Amino acid sequence: MWQFGEVALAIAIAPLFMGWISQCRAWMQNRSAPPLTQSYRMLRKLFHKDAAVATDASLLFRGTPYVLFGTMVLAAAIIPSLATDLPFARAADAIALIGLFATARVFLSLAAMDIGTAFGTMGARREMMIGFLAEPALLMVLFNAFLLYGSTSLPNLVNEYAARHTVIDPSVIFAAVAFVMVLLAENARIPIDNPGTHLELTMIHEAMLLEYSARHLALVEWASSLKLFNYACIGFALFLPWGIATHGADGGVPLLAAVAALVAKLTVAGAALALIESLSAKLRIFRAPEYLAMAFLLAVLGLLVHLLLGANINA
């Protein structure tokens, strides 16, 4: 029961998280902010429209929105956003989680090339390039946390953190910065991509969605919101695990406190992402490899710092 409650909360709150980021960006840029529920209104409008599908579209193109949404829901089910002892949390191996994100990326890229348009193919190629460079950096970030707690399971990592009550390791700071850089790149945010523009020569994620409409576009947009929510929850589990219930099945009080902690962390994280995007300029597409290489080097530096500190302690 608690497992389905956590998944339902993720599905429901993900568009709200996206709307909060949009509001914060508007306030920081001295613009009129859209309603917090704008994402829900857009989804409702799209679901009530009739889908227009190209005559040359294959089953891959038609089925990809459902695959994207399903993979993001499954990812939300195995990320310990509220508690660690939920049934699906036993399958929460972070390497498999990266595989889920890679599966969604491959399906979206293939669907973008399925129609044969120039923009779709261009966006798919750029998306695969970003993923090819971002995944190694994300793996190094995860390995840093795994060396600290000796497990590739996110629930076990949170439990170990709660049991030790240790101070923050200096290597975690480098890993956290690298993770934020990867989060921005993987979710098509500034400085890698701008989700609010359709400029032909600069768009990446939006270029792959130009042929989708109605319920298909709604599912893709909802999956994008879930992906950002999932990445935020991964960051909370790795670097800010406070508030996550380690024994959620014992009663409702710990989980209610975990819900309040999650909402508070999402509020702060959304404002921080909006601040980063407001202070940053979009990079040229040819500078994206340098950006992600920096994220990879920061993650490696975190590993080296951890290994050096461990060697000094053992000595």
* Structure confidence at residue 311 (pLDDT): 45
Q: Are 267 and 105 in contact (CB under 8 A)?
A: no
Instruction: State both tokens at 13.
Output: 């709150």
For the chain, give the secondary structure using H, E and C.
CHHHHHHHHHHHHHHHHHHHHHHHHHHHCCCCCCCCCHHHHHHHHHHCCCCCCCCCCCHHHHHHHHHHHHHHHHHHHHCCCCECCCHHHHHCEHHHHHHHHHHHHHHHHHHHHHCCCHHHHHHHHHHHHHHHHHHHHHHHHHHHHHHHHCCCEHHHHHHHHHHHCCCCCHHHHHHHHHHHHHHHHHCCCCCCCCCCCCCCCCCCCHHHHCCCCHHHHHHHHHHHHHHHHHHHHHHHHHHCCCCCECCHHHCHHHHHHHHHHHHHHHHHHHHHHHHHHHHCCCCCHHHHHHHHHHHHHHHHHHHHHHHHHHHHHHC
Residue 224 burial (C-beta neighbours within 10 Å; 0-12, 13-18, 19+): buried
Sort residue 165 into left (φ over 0), alpha (ψ -120 to 50) or beta: left
The identity of residue 203, as a single letter, is M
- pLDDT in the model for residue 312: 44
- Beta carbons within 8 Å of 8's beta carbon, 6+ residues apart: none
**pLDDT for 160:** 78
pLDDT of residue 165: 57
Domain count across the chain: 1
Say what the pLDDT of residue 313 is: 40
Q: By residue range, what is the domain housing residue 180?
A: 2-314
Q: What is the pLDDT of residues 146-172, one digit of tens each?
A: 887 777 788 888 877 766 655 567 788
Structure tokens at 283: 């990079």
Residues of the chain with pLDDT under 50: 248-249, 311-315
Q: Bridge-partner residues for 244, per DSSP?
A: none
The predicted structure's pLDDT at residue 249: 47
| Single-letter amino acid, residue 6 | E
**Angular region, 243: left φ>0, alpha ψ -120 to 50, beta rest:** left
The pLDDT, as a whole number, for residue 6 is 85
